[in-house]
Structure 1
Amino acid sequence: MISLSIIIPVYNGEEYLTQALGSIVDQIDNQSEVIIINDGSTDNSLSIINNNYKNEIDSGLFKVIDQANAGVSVARNNGIKQSVGEYITFIDADDFILPGYFLEIQAGIKAHPVDVLEMGYIPFINKSDVSSGKACYSHNTFGLVDSSTVISSIFSRSLFYPFLRVIKRSFFDNNLFPVGIKFCEDLILLQNIYRQSKHIYHIEKPLYAYRLNPNGATGNVKPEYITGMLSFYTSLLGKQEVHIMYLKANIFYVIYKAHENLNLKINLSPNIRKDSLKLLWTLLWDNKITKKRKFIIFSPNLFYLLRKIIKGSN
């Protein structure tokens, strides 16, 4: 019986792919499967997968799906549809897993059949940095917890990385990655899953190494990406729960950072502007939201202008 399905979307990942897949081969057990979706790569990614991991493919440990380029959301969704595990998680092709990954996750699944199992990660630039890197977590409560007791902390920290959690497959019956959204698509899906979940098990151990990649989506924002985030913020207008307030604050920050990267002025609709001022008033004395983010909510364009003046004077 397959208890864990790992989905890996690949697009032009030849530089780091053997590192990612090699870390899996070193640990994988017979209760897990790996589904690799080649999303129309134009480099040697598909050849590396087929030639270097033939034994894993022939044995059924690795399943390979080759599709025309359609984006990471479609790739992950296709992987979900082809998976058979009771739980599903995700790995990026330029990252790798740390020792104990399968042992810890499988033990957690068996002992605590929860909705979401979480773990820590270590960010890195060079692989040699991982051994001395500091572990990061989506919140600081560990062990078995009710979702309602930690959801505000999770949303305030806003580390909505798919690789940080293992999710019961039934949650994907009505929740898939939003197609057509190419920026923060993981935030849009995972916040909804957390709002539906009841029980979480949080492993106090880093099991994943996350590469800080300047060529990733957050470093290469396009104007059309912002439209999706504004639409998502609009869908939350009128919602006043504390965790939704934190979510709005972080969406606002993401929108600001996208505009900053593009060197554009932020134009908000009257409804969003009105809601953001209410948001600021609610969170003004909340220490979980930094002063910087509060300033951005108050006036993102003024904050951007001051940043330019300060940078210019240095």
Structure 2
Amino acid sequence: MIKESELKDGISAIIPTYKGEKYISKLLDSLINQNMDSNLFEAIFIVNGEIDSTPDIIKEYQKNNPEVNIILTESEKGVCNARNKGIELASRKYCIFIDDDDYISDNYFEEVYKHVKPNRIVLGTFYDIDEDSGEVIYSYMTPQLLENSGIVENPYNKIKDAIVITTNKIIPTINVKNSKFNPELTNGVDIAYYANFYPENDFEFYVVNKDIEANYYRLWRHGSISRQDLSYEFNINNRLKVINDINEGLKKAKTPEIKSFIESLTGGQVIKINEYIEKCPQDYTRILKEVLSYNYDFFPYKYLNENLSELNNDKRELIISYAFSPTNTTTSNVVAKRILSEKRNIDVICASLDDLKKDFSLEKVVLEYIINKFTVKSDFSTEWNNISNFINEGIKLINNYERIYSRANFPHSHFLALEYKLKNPDTYWRAEFSDPLIYTFGNRH
């Protein structure tokens, strides 16, 4: 394994290229025109897949610009294999990934390099270039970078989108050499890579001031790999593979901030899954079986097959269960297992029951399905005044449900459900009993 002392000062640009003949000259020109001393950077082009005239174009630039360190090599097919080959060859202390149809401003390397430090990632400003018009436009992550400069506090929230694209960031090479892109992935590779890269490293993030105009320009190409047509392979199989890698990263998370950040990366993948389900609802059961086959530690089931704009719609089913996870009772466990078996988004109302034992392990799994959890403050008792309190306080918290479900060993649940049904006669009420409820635990009628 290479030591940091063996790396030279400067920047290694790692550039996979696949049939890039139409765009590569723009990038090469931007590298040739960098204000930085050409001895301080190298550009590693990795040709992967089918060959066009791209290698010849790069060789011509090598010939005409011998002062610039342009390296041309090749790898097995696939952008991940290409980037991994570039990582192996990188010889400078810092590196950047650049796509072959993108380019950078003349001062980009010079300005970002002013702020490099070990354990720091430096980002420039990011813009899209419309392929048809050539117009410079904001990407979805541009505002994040314009609104922040210098060291960013809470980067996993403030610049979340900017730090999970592969490009536009200078990274300490020694850290990158301890990582790899997953060659089994054909898309979503950036999310999968950084979901595993960040938990293994404790970075601070620095954004170069927008007034410096150290700009990274991404060509917005219609039909690029991240904007493919709807298909089971792209929207389901590939998304589940990416979520699997995200779960691997989640296991490495050392802080609640990183854990929450990595969990949130599943959201974009589920959006693509939902796009497919909306068009092909007949495949929903098949998709759910695929999801379950991975046995994920974390999957945001509550977003699956949901219109995200209506996620807090109160018309989903309400579960009424006086005892509910993490309260450790038979009723809590039975209701939790029912939720896990039905795998549908639900709301829950329960009592706090702080005086009873808790088991947070089951709650961790069940919470993935719960949109809203309403809790009535109450210690455990089967006295009527306690049941009455659960009814009166609970009815204030809930409204507008088309379906309710109540589960009782404890009668509180059915009494609250009855009260709701009387007030909302059109609501469908599903009630489940574990025992006849003629007598209380104290054998009182």
TM-score in terms of structure 2 length: 0.55
For 2:92, what is the secondary structure of its paired residue? Answer: coil
Q: Distance in 2 between matches of 1:87 and 1:38?
A: 22
**Aligned residue number for residue 304 of structure 1:** none
Counterpart for residue 193 of structure 2: 189
The match for 1:12 is: 19
In the alignment, which residue of structure 2 is the partner of 1:45? 54
3-state secondary structure, aligned to 2:192: helix
Alignment match, 1:62: 70
Give the structure with the higher percent helix: 1
Amino acid at match of 2:69: L
Counterpart Cα distance in 2 of 1:264 and 1:18: 47
- Residue 163 of structure 1 aligns to a residue whose secondary structure is coil
Displacement after TM superposition at 1:154 (Å): 3.8
Q: How far, CA to CA, are the matches of 1:172 and 1:5 in structure 2?
A: 11
1:170-211 deviation line (CA, Å, top 9, x unaligned) = 212321111111111111112332332232211133511111
1:120-135, aligned counterparts within 5 Å?
120-126=125-131, 128-130=134-136, 133-134=137-138
Return the match for 1:245 from 263, 270, 275. 263
1:199 matched residue in structure 2: 204
Q: Which residues in structure 2 correspond to 1:69-88 (within 5 Å)?
A: 69-88=76-95
Q: CA deviation at 1:234?
A: 5.0
Q: Distance in 2 between matches of 1:114 and 1:274?
A: 28
CA 1:293 to 1:94, structure 2 compared with 1: closer, same or farther past 3 Å? farther
- Give the one of 168, 176, 181 matched to 1:177: 181
Pairing 1:163–2:167 present: yes
**Matching residue's letter, 2:108:** Y
Question: Partners of 2:103 and 2:246 in 1: how far apart?
Answer: 33
Greater relative contact order structure (CA < 8 Å, 6+ sep): 1
Residues 259-278 of structure 1: pairs in structure 2 closer than 5 A:
265-266=283-284, 267-268=287-288, 269-270=291-292, 275-277=299-301
2:221 alignment counterpart: 213
What CA distance in whole angstroms lies between the structure 2 residues aligned with 1:137 and 1:233?
A: 25
Structure 2 stretches of 5 or more lacking a match?
1-7, 314-343, 347-445
Moved more, 192-201 or 234-243: 234-243
| Distance change (3 Å), C-alpha of 1:258 and 1:80 | farther
**Residue 23 (str. 1) matches residue 30 (str. 2):** yes
Question: What SS does structure 2 have at the residue aligned with 1:181?
Answer: coil
In the alignment, what sits opposite 1:151? 156
Match of 2:386 in 1: none
Q: CA 1:103–1:237 in 2, change beyond 3 Å: closer, same or farther?
A: closer
Q: Provide the secondary structure at the position in 2 that maps to 1:22.
A: helix
Deviation at 1:52, TM superposition (A): 3.3
* Distance (whole Å) between structure 2 residues aligned to residue 115 and residue 264 of structure 1: 48
| Cα displacement (A) at 1:100 | 1.7
Deviations 1:229-258 (A, max 9, x none): 242355478987322332222332244457
Q: Identity of counterpart residues, as a percentage?
A: 22
User: In the TM superposition, what is the alpha-carbon distance from 1:42 to its structure 2 partner?
Assistant: 2.3
- Distance change >3 Å, CA 233–CA 104, structure 1 → 2: closer
Q: Quick one: which amino acid aligns to residue 73 of structure 2?
A: I
Corresponding residue SS for 1:116: strand
Kept in 2, the 8 Å contact 1:151–1:194? The answer is: no
Distance 2:228 2:170 in 1: 28
Separation in 2, partners of 1:235, 1:294: 29
1:3 alignment partner, SS class: strand
Q: Distance in 1 between matches of 2:51 and 2:311?
A: 39
2:434 corresponding residue in structure 1: none
The alignment's C-alpha RMSD in Å is 3.5
Number of aligned positions between the proteins: 281
Are residue 225 (structure 1) and residue 225 (structure 2) matched? no
CA shift, 1:161, in A, is 1.6
Residues 60, 292 of structure 1: alpha-carbon distance in 2 compared, 3 angstrom cutoff = farther
User: TM-score of the superposition, structure 1-length normalised?
Assistant: 0.76
Quote the offset at 1:19 in angstroms.
0.8
For 1:154 and 1:245, the matched residues in 2 are separated by: 16
- Contact conserved, 1:96 with 1:210, CA < 8 A, in 2? yes
Larger deviation, residues 88-97 vs 246-255? 246-255
CA distance in 1 between counterparts of 2:162 and 2:68 reads 36
Aligned-partner residue type, residue 190 of structure 2: D
SS of the residue 2:14 aligns to: strand
- Residue 24 of structure 1 deviates from its aligned partner by 1.0
Q: Distance in 2 between matches of 1:11 and 1:264?
A: 37
* Counterpart check, 1:105 vs 2:112: yes
Tell me, yes or no, if structure 1 residue 92 matches structure 2 residue 99: yes
Deviation of 1:259 after TM superposition, in Å, equals 6.5
How far residue 293 of structure 1 moved from its aligned partner, in angstroms, is 8.0
